[in-house]
Homo-oligomer: A and B are copies of this chain.
Amino acid sequence: MIYFNNDYTEGAHEKILERFIETNMVQAPGYGFDEYSKRAKDYIKTATKTEDIDIHFLSGGTQTNLIVIAASLRPYEGVITADSGHIHTLETGAIESIGHKLLLLPNKEGKITATQVQELCESYWKNGAKMHQVQPGMVYLSNPTETGTLYSKAELTTLSEVCKKYEMKLFIDGARLGYGLVAETNDLTLQDLTELTDVYYIGGTKIGALFGEAVVISNNEIKRGFRSIIKQKGGLLAKSRALGIQFEVLFEENLYFDLSEHAVKLGMKLKEIFKELNIPLKYEAYTNQLFPILPNKILKKLQGKYVFLEMNDEDEENTLIRICMTWATKEENVDNLINDFYKLMKE
Contact = CB atoms under 8 A, between A and B. Distances in A.
A321 to B, nearest CB: 17
A328 interface: yes
A231 B2 contact: no
Contacts of A67: 234
14 contacts: A9-B27, A9-B28, A9-B29, A11-B242, A31-B131, A59-B59, A59-B234, A59-B237, A63-B234, A96-B99, A129-B227, A135-B228, A211-B238, A233-B233
A297 interface: no
A280 interface: no
A123 B134 CA distance: 29
Interface string A83-99: 00000011111101111
Contacts of A236: 60, 62, 131
A91 B232 CA distance: 6
Interface of A is mostly: loop
Interface string A204-248: 011000110000000000001101111111111111011000000
A30 to B, nearest CB: 5
B76 A228 contact: yes
Contacts of A1: 27
Nearest to A225: B76
A199 to B, nearest CB: 15
Nearest to A74: B225
Nearest to A13: B24
A346 B103 CA distance: 45
Given A78-B93, A129-B228, 20 more contacts: A9-B30, A10-B25, A14-B24, A17-B17, A62-B231, A66-B234, A74-B225, A75-B97, A76-B93, A76-B225, A78-B96, A91-B231, A92-B228, A92-B229, A94-B233, A94-B234, A129-B227, A131-B227, A131-B228, A131-B230
Range, interface on chain A: 35 or more
A189 interface: no
A71 B76 CA distance: 9
A70 interface: yes
Contacts of A230: 131
Contacts of A28: 9-10
A1 B17 CA distance: 26
Contacts of A239: 8, 11, 205, 210-211
A236 B100 CA distance: 19
A10 B21 CA distance: 11
A132 interface: yes
Contact of A20 (B17, B25, B206): B17
A62 B210 contact: no
B63 A92 contact: no
